[in-house]
Structure 1
């Protein structure tokens, strides 16, 4: 069975500056090199889903500029349906500047542009697309009120909704009521619950806090350590595959996109889907860039026979 995945999210052109170490406040440093690539959390997640075999569509917005066409072409290159990517005649296409050091760690600054100009009324035109989906994913690089409208429609049509609250910010009232699964990293989880996620006990406490907030299904990604999951039927920790990272830029997005390609609508195979997602992201971190680093299902199968 092939999952039909719709991603509502951001489209950014990423500029990566390769540096020896992160600058200190007030310090001027030289970049060793510069690369440009297609990115944005939404684009990364959609490409990861598509490359793992999901029938993938995108809801988003770009500027009426060359970067916008570049992003649409990048999605189409992976067979992603872009019929619901709007053209914004006022705001430019989103962009990000990424500082990447020798250890593979990064700092990212994002300009929202057209991504942040999306309006809830846009979603009406995407109802049939959402109706036909198995999974709908969204993050916080686009306005939460747009996600809320989309998730409400999804729930009316029996579609499973996955929320990646990144970058972390206060969650819009009502949004968790129409969210089936929330997937923060450990920093985002702590920001939202006020509880540091450092071990299984504290992650259990995070799960309890999210349950109080109205969401029973949780995955916390913990970088190179792995991922914690909690559902009403059980909880556990799936360790990451140990690799030497070159660039962690799209690791979390690869994880979510790959996961969405494998998970069942009722989330009954969460642990199995998590293992697959860990395999995908372990390949991503060994490559440079966002979209260029995301593996295909064939590459994942070859790597982990």
Structure 2
């Protein structure tokens, strides 16, 4: 079983030819609304790929919260929803014609996901063997959850995104940290090579470092071995949530008992398929599609 503690947002996505420059006004090509939030994206990915998932999240008191409620309950992820008196979280996403994105997140209800709520859900959460965490809820809550699962002997996978305001004391409770290249630089320091940066994170307490490099694949550095898994070549149109799809697929694969290399390839395939579609949760592939890309 997989536990996910994290955010639920409604993504307001506007497609443009090129990113808007400071002081510039341009017409958008298309406006869409999608269910999102890094926590929800990872939980939904694991669930749609066949995982048993407990998702602890906070929803607000507005229409966006009702949209998220419908989406989560439709796939049996309503088990850990908590409601708070606040607007729901939203993300404003600008997507260029090359498929790159820029994102502004308003946390809203997500910032009410407190350590007390996590403690109140302790019994349900600790039924899981794997915990997925991100950084879109209060950091004190993320730290509390990481420590709770680590001390229970569980696997803690931490996606340090966004990478601001992270107390590095969390790293001693993390089994696998999954930054992208920008997040790695913020955590370990700029102008470092990959091996030097991962070695620095190991010294900070991380058991395993999994660097997500987009179309360059992934680099995994463990205490005893390193692995490089190339990306699958696809035509990207929207990279929104690709990292979340990777994490959700990776956790699901590990939970099934696949080995590390197979789990990394499975997650790379899932992420590759996701960037060929628009939206966050709407871009999540299914098992048969991933199997086809893997040649199975």
Q: So what's the TM-score if we normalise by structure 2?
A: 0.95
**Counterparts of 2:283 and 2:116, CA distance in 1:** 34
Whether the 8 Å contact between 1:186 and 1:196 is mirrored in structure 2 is no
- What displacement does 1:299 show? 2.1
Whether the 8 Å contact between 1:130 and 1:159 is mirrored in structure 2 is no
Secondary structure, aligned partner of 1:263: helix
- 2:79 is matched with 83
- Matching of residues 44-193 of structure 1 within 5 Å: 44-80=41-77, 82-89=78-85, 91-172=86-167, 174-193=169-188
Whether the 8 Å contact between 1:6 and 1:133 is mirrored in structure 2 is yes
**Counterparts of 1:228 and 1:170, CA distance in 2:** 25
| Residue ranges of structure 1 left out of the alignment (5+ in a row) | none
Q: Deviations over 1:152-182 (max 9, x none)?
A: 2212332211110001124225311211111
- 2:260 is matched with 270
Aligned pair partner of 1:297 in 284, 287, 290: 287
- What displacement does 1:264 show? 5.2
Secondary structure, aligned partner of 1:74: helix
CA gap 1:64/1:213 in 2 versus in 1, 3 angstroms:
same
- 1:235 is matched with 226
**Counterparts of 1:191 and 1:268, CA distance in 2:** 31
Aligned pair partner of 2:246 in 241, 247, 255: 255
Whether the 8 Å contact between 1:169 and 1:192 is mirrored in structure 2 is no
Secondary structure, aligned partner of 2:17: coil
- 2:202 is matched with 211
**Counterparts of 1:76 and 1:195, CA distance in 2:** 42
Q: For this pair of structures, how many residues does the alignment match? A: 295
- 1:18 is matched with 15
More displaced, 147-156 or 211-220? 147-156
| Residue ranges of structure 2 left out of the alignment (5+ in a row) | none
RMSD: 1.6
Q: So what's the TM-score if we normalise by structure 1?
A: 0.93
**Counterparts of 2:100 and 2:22, CA distance in 1:** 17
